[in-house]
Amino acid sequence: MRPNGFGCCERLRMIVAWLDFLMPMALLGQSLTWLGTLGGTWSYAYDISPDGRVVVGVAQNERLSPRPFLWTSAVGMRDLGTLGGLQSAAYGISADGAVVVGWAHEASGVRRAFRWSAATTLPQGDSKPICWTPCLKPKV
């Protein structure tokens, strides 16, 4: 016994009891939401709108290719498509959640930057997009 009447084990039990009390207090008001995948086994979130309603990132699809996604609680995870290649990813989102930026491979394998919005939707298959922002092609 120590002079204060508590041995090593008693102090350790008191610390553990105190932590058991504090831990739930620190976690109050926090939550974790599973965003899902696009048919594969993994997904990564890279950016979130300031209001927390829209999340973008990359997820593996059923063909095991990385694809960009946009997630909302109303719709869930949405595949943003490609530029004809097999790989792409979304890394940023605008403050209002309407514009997404990232990169995508073309069918030739060349990686290009993209700017996505609902008006410039990427195709869901491996075909060329119909309407894309001009920033995808380098100026010659």
- Rounded CA separation 2/10 (Å): 10
pLDDT number for residue 138? 43
Q: Which pair of tokens denotes residue 37? A: 């995948």
100 strand-pairing partners: 93, 116
Average pLDDT over residues 36-45: 94
For the chain, how far is it from start to end, CA to CA, in angstroms? 82
All residues at 6 or more sequence positions from 124 whose CB lies less than 8 Å from its CB, including other chains: 79, 81
Of residues 70 and 25, the one with the higher pLDDT is: 70
Q: What are phi and psi of 115, to 5 degrees?
A: -125, 115
All residues at 6 or more sequence positions from 73 whose CB lies less than 8 Å from its CB, including other chains: 33, 53
Pinpoint the alpha helices (H) of the chain.
Answer: 8-27
Q: Name the band, by pLDDT with cuts 50, 70 and 90, for residue 118.
A: confident
Q: Of 86, 87, 84, 119, whose CA–CA distance to 100 is shortest?
A: 119
SS3 assignment, position 115: strand
The owner of tokens 């932590």 is: 19
Tens of pLDDT, residue by residue over 43-90, are 999 999 999 999 999 999 999 999 999 999 999 999 998 888 989 999
Domains of the chain by residue range: 1-31, 39-130
Q: Which pair of tokens denotes residue 8? A: 């090593």
Average pLDDT over residues 91-119: 90
* 3-state DSSP helix/strand/coil % of the chain, to nearest 5: 20, 40, 40
Tens of pLDDT, residue by residue over 8-24, are 556 656 665 555 555 55
